[in-house]
């Protein structure tokens, strides 16, 4: 197999259906010359770890609880900072470094120090979020949109892939798709429709970001060429 052009590190916390969409895309023409070099979960029970192992992808379970136990409740931020510093070390211990970090159902707010560290290494971070830009930031977005729809406050929600910055779910949107809300629809039915959109959009958004990375590199190489 020719050397892959792009390497991905995927962060997960759960079932891993979005990870599976990326695994399948890398194995097909959807994400050519791209491989997933590590999957990291903050939850030991995450089935996504099994999905990665089944695809012969190296996995790491990175547990926040062991860090929390080292600090008093009042110093939880110190525990998170230390946890995130080690998370960055795990990611940067892979050589070559990944080209992109993808949060695929990663239910942990990343500290600014983590983002500073990986940004300094030239590694962008993107995230899948089941809402539209500027709406329902944070955990439980699908249910909050469903509740808002029942009250008539919104008629649609959506899914986005966005750049990860310190402010949660506020980074530049890379890919967005609206999902209409249907009166009388159950939360489970809405979740199913949204998950189907997620599985397509996470591939589209990852592909778009990798294209941006490739274009940036080409410009850098082009810019460094001696002027003729």
Ligand X SMILES: Nc1nc2c(c(=O)[nH]1)N[C@@H](CN(C=O)c1ccc(C(=O)N[C@@H](CCC(=O)O)C(=O)O)cc1)CN2
Strand order in the sheet with 173-180: 59-61, 34-41, 6-12, 100-103, 125-129, 156-163, 173-180
Residue 65 binding ligand X, by CB under 6 A: no
Q: Could you say whether residue 207 binds ligand X (CB under 6 A)?
A: no
> In sequence order, which residues have a C-beta less than 8 Å from that of residue 180 and are 6 or more positions away?
155, 156
Active site residues: 129
The residues with which 156 forms a beta bridge, in sequence order, are 180
Binding residue for ligand X, selected from 41, 117, 127, 157, defined by CB under 6 A: 127
Question: Does residue number 198 form part of the binding site for ligand X (CB under 6 A)?
Answer: no
End-to-end CA distance of the chain: 36
**Residue 16 binds to ligand GAR (criterion: CB under 6 A):** yes
Of the ranges 72-80, 87-95, 139-147, 176-184, which one interacts with ligand GAR (CB under 6 A)?
A: 139-147
List binders of ligand GAR among 30-89 (CB under 6 A).
48
Is 157 a binder of ligand GAR (CB under 6 A)? no
- DSSP code of residue 75: G
- The residues in 169-198 that bind ligand GAR, with binding defined as CB under 6 A, are 195, 198
Q: How many CB atoms lie within 10 A of CB 6?
A: 22
The binder of 18, among ligand X, ligand GAR, none, by C-beta within 5 to 8 A per type, is ligand GAR
| Cα-based distances in Å from 41 to 15, 38, 73, 74 | 11, 10, 23, 25
DSSP string, 124-157: -EEEEESS-TTSS-STTHHHHHHHHHHTTS-SEE
Q: Judged by CB under 6 A, which of 105, 149, 158, 171 binds ligand GAR?
A: 105
Burial 161-181 (b: 16+ CB within 10 A, else e): bbbbbeeebebebbbebebeb
Contact 46, 13 (CB under 8 A): yes
Site for ligand X in 133-172 (CB under 6 A): 138-139, 164, 166, 168-169, 171
Nearer to ligand GAR, 76 or 139 (CB): 139
Please identify, using beta-carbon distances, which residue of 18 and 60 lies nearer to ligand GAR: 18
Query: Which residues form the interface with ligand X (CB under 6 A)?
Result: 103, 106-110, 127, 129, 138-139, 164, 166, 168-169, 171
Query: Which residues form the interface with ligand GAR (CB under 6 A)?
Result: 12, 14-19, 48, 104-105, 129-130, 139, 141-142, 195, 198
């Amino acid at each position: 197999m020719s050397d892959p052009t792009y390497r991905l590190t995927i962060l997960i916390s759960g079932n891993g259906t979005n990870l599976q969409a990326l695994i399948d895309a890398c194995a097909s023409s959807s994400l050519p010359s791209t491989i997933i070099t590590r999957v990291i979960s903050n939850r030991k029970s995450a089935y996504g770890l099994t999905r990665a192992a089944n695809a012969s992808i190296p996995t790491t379970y990175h547990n926040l609880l062991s860090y929390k136990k080292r600090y008093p409740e009042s110093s939880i931020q110190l525990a998170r900072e230390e946890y995130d510093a080690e998370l960055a070390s795990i990611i940067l211990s892979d050589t070559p470094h990944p080209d992109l970090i993808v949060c695929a159902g990663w239910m942990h707010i990343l500290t600014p120090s983590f983002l500073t560290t990986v940004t300094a290494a030239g590694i962008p971070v993107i995230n899948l979020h089941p809402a539209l830009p500027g709406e329902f930031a944070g955990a439980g977005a699908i249910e909050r949109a469903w509740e808002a729809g029942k009250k008539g406050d919104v008629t649609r929600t959506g899914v986005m892939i966005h750049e990860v910055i310190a402010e949660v779910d506020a980074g530049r949107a890379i890919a967005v798709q609206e999902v209409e809300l249907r009166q009388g629809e159950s939360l489970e039915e809405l979740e199913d429709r949204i998950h189907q959109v997620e599985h397509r959009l996470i591939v589209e958004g990852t592909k778009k970001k990798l294209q941006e990375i490739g274009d940036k590199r080409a410009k850098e190489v082009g810019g460094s060429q001696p002027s003729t």
